[in-house]
Amino acid sequence: MRSKLMILLVLINFAAQAQDIFKRELGLMGSNFDITVIADSKKEAENYIDLAVVEMQRIEELISSWKSTSQTSAINRNAGLKPVQVDNELFQLIKRSIAISKITDGAFDISFAAIDKIWVFNGEETQVPDKALISSSVNAIGYKNIKLDEKNSTVFLTQKGMKIGFGAIGKGYAADKAKSLLMEKGVSGGIINASGDMNAWGLQPKGELWKVAITNPMDNSKNYGLFDLKNNAVVTSGNYEKFLLIDGERYAHIIDPRTGMPTKGILSVTVFAPKAELADALATSIFVMGSEVGLNMINQLPDVEAIIVKNDGSLATSTHINITTP
């Protein structure tokens, strides 16, 4: 349900160092990924990257609502019928998702998938979908109707027609898991870029921090400056690629799960957080909540910051972000 605004990774490479920076671009989870690692040789780097790819493919098999064999699809097929036993990993991901739903007052909700067929955003829509259709789909959305049984590791969607999906959190989770695996394998530094969900660790070969440049969605030739990544994640979500213009109103492709309507007023949201999973979910939530309410939430969360670009090009930032409009 989301597209990712471009984040430019700035690599500072020093050939004199024993280790070097190696990067591979590839397609995963229906999106463009790139994996950057510090290694002694290309062969060593390729082996590490292969491990990360296998890990993210494993996660896709677990959480994809498009794969009929996944546990997520089994949960959806049994909505309103019976609980489904799942692996603890998926159970905990759903549990954390519900916790974020509570923090955001439902602005983030993995059960939004019940409305994923109503809005197409293919450039051909000229009017809002039928209100009755939107209303019936919204009735099937509601994180409070996702019932978890920790003892038996089961998930039950209590209403027929309910669906869960991880489009607003899955790539961030995959980036987190790949990072954790590579750290366990001894990779001293790198970045997992999961279609704009970026998670960094360690340092570049000469001890420099990884840096990202957040681009201006209104002019990709400009940016808001360089930002250090200190073993943390950054996610930027934007509506500049997928949006509707209906009766002069611009509608983002990010849907408010509480109303079934596209969000308005924000062009892009960048969130810095300890994990890409959290940054991913919060970026989506701010689109739904609006800049004022969204920043109020962000300012209450430890180690989380945000940059919001409104439709008119003006900026709104959290407490500890200082930037100049390019």
Query: Residue ranges for the binding site?
Result: 168, 280, 284
DSSP state for residue 114 in the 8-state scheme: G
From residue 185, how far is each of 37, 47, 48, 274 by CA, in Å? 12, 11, 8, 20
Q: Rounded CA gap, 253 and 33, in Å?
A: 21
Residue bearing tokens 């955003």: 121
Chain Cα centroid distance, residue 76 = 21
Pick the closest to residue 134 from 260, 320, 281, 271 (CA basis): 260
Please tell me the distance from the alpha carbon of residue 232 to that of residue 34, in angstroms, as a whole number: 17
Could you tell me the two tokens for 176?
């987190």
Can you tell me the distance from the alpha carbon of 112 to that of 106, in angstroms, rounded to the nearest whole number?
10
d(CA 238, CA 249): 17
Distance CA 115, CA 89 (A): 26
**Contact predicate 67/61, CB 8 Å:** yes
How many other C-beta atoms lie within 10 A of the C-beta of residue 133? Answer: 13
Residues placed in the known binding site for Mg(2+): 168, 280, 284
Q: Which pair of structure tokens corresponds to residue 67?
A: 């794969």
The closest alpha carbon to 168, from 191, 195, 190, belongs to 195
Q: 92, 60, 57, 86: which is closest to 74 by C-alpha? A: 86
